[in-house]
Structure 1
Amino acid sequence: MRLNVYHFNEESIGLEAAELHTDSGLLTVLLEGEIGGLEILDQTGKFVAVHPQPGTFLVFMGDVGKHRVVCTQAAPRVSIAFGVLSQRDGMVEPQAPLVDEQHPRLYRSFLYDDYRKLGDTTNLQDGNALSLLRADE
């Protein structure tokens, strides 16, 4: 679990507080405060603001969810992230009922530890190693 506190001031408005990255765990459950500033990278390469909704959590699926934090106002920004790790020998794959003609697999099945090693040996970090595991290749 991690508590993130950003002390934003007038001079930091518009600046990145956390550069584009992914979370290295299997998934991250995030509770955000009301300040905002979280942006995700969509499939077209455009940043999209995520507006906090009271009483909700945001879930990032490991290296699939590229995101950053940008200062939007001069106020403290607080978020709490809870990271969930897979077993080193845990298989990462979608459940069969979630895959059909309208929702095809995007990636081949892989062992979590093998994926972490792939990122290290290819020097592809922050989700870029996923491109080597595309289901259509």
Structure 2
Amino acid sequence: MSVTQEAGGQYRIHAADGRYWDEPQPPILGTGFLKGGGARQIAELWAWDDEDRPVLSELDESTQSPGLFLVGPQVRHDPLIYCFVYKFRQRFAAIAGHIAERLDIDDAALLAEYGAWGPFGNSDCCEDCQC
């Protein structure tokens, strides 16, 4: 799979079988649960610590590639490990809020009851979790 920017600012997403899709916005990389984690597919865009984990800012952003955020089981904020869907889903609203702020976009939907990501948008259920 690859992405090219076409005339007029469109992004063309090329599939390995020859199909393609045109999108007006840059695509988001969603790699799923690959051995070694999704960040390994773009390893050169991350700094790595001594335990072979991607180094992230408090905003879950690459310290090496500004604007690149990581969500998923590789996200750790010691002692918290965001290892389950309901736990790393908590981080979506925080990251979306930071992106909205940088792009000067209204983030009111993130602040509504439960926010855009449902009832898991808070850390109450995971305080001091060491799983």
Scaled by the length of structure 2, the TM-score of the pair is: 0.28
Q: Tell me which protein shows more helix as a share of its residues.
A: 2
Q: Which has the higher contact order (CA 8 A, sep 6+)?
A: 1
Q: Tell me which protein shows more strand as a share of its residues.
A: 1
